[in-house]
Amino acid sequence: MKMSMYQAAVPPSIRSLTNLAAILEKAVAHCEANKIDPAVLVNARLFPNMFPLSRQVQIATDVAKGGAARLAGQDPPAYEDKESTFPELIARVHKTIEFLKSFRAEQLDGTEEKAITLKMRNGERHFQGLPYVQSFVLPNVYFHVTTAYNILRHNGVEIGKQDFLGAD
């Protein structure tokens, strides 16, 4: 059976981002219930040399939208990375989900061997389509969503594994 690149890339990204939005909503409720300044959590880090929650959300959305766009032969939309509140972060996640929902299977299917070049801070990285999804896009989305989850959990937001996994 041939793999659908659309199925491999888009639905898992949408699911992770949908769950991330729900986790961020729980963080808002946690801040309200406990009279915590939301900026404390938005700027929280797991370790001093790690990115804060806001940047984790930005990277997760950037990788997800970039993955689908590049496979479809499009330039990913640029976001300004200026989100500093939970409503702004949640809106960014929803905007990315809507962008991902705009793709159709025929735009991505058949791109298993498509050449993908990413310009990174330390040079270029070259991939073929399927390894790009399997070894770069999805692991990065999962890493940054997991890190956002961990920052919130570490700071007392009552979330658990089911919040990360989402409902079926």
Q: If you write DSSP's letter for every residue of 61-121 in order, what string do you get?
A: HHHHHHHHHHHTT-PPPP------SHHHHHHHHHHHHHHHHT--HHHHTT-TT-EEEEEET
How far apart CA 67 and CA 90 sit, in angstroms, is 20
- What is the CATH architecture of 5-156? Up-down Bundle (1.20)
pLDDT tens-digit readout, 12-60: 999 999 999 999 999 999 999 999 999 999 999 999 999 999 999 999 9
Domain edges within the chain:
5-156
pTM: 0.96
pLDDT tens-digit readout, 71-130: 999 999 999 999 999 999 999 999 999 999 999 999 999 999 999 999 888 999 999 999
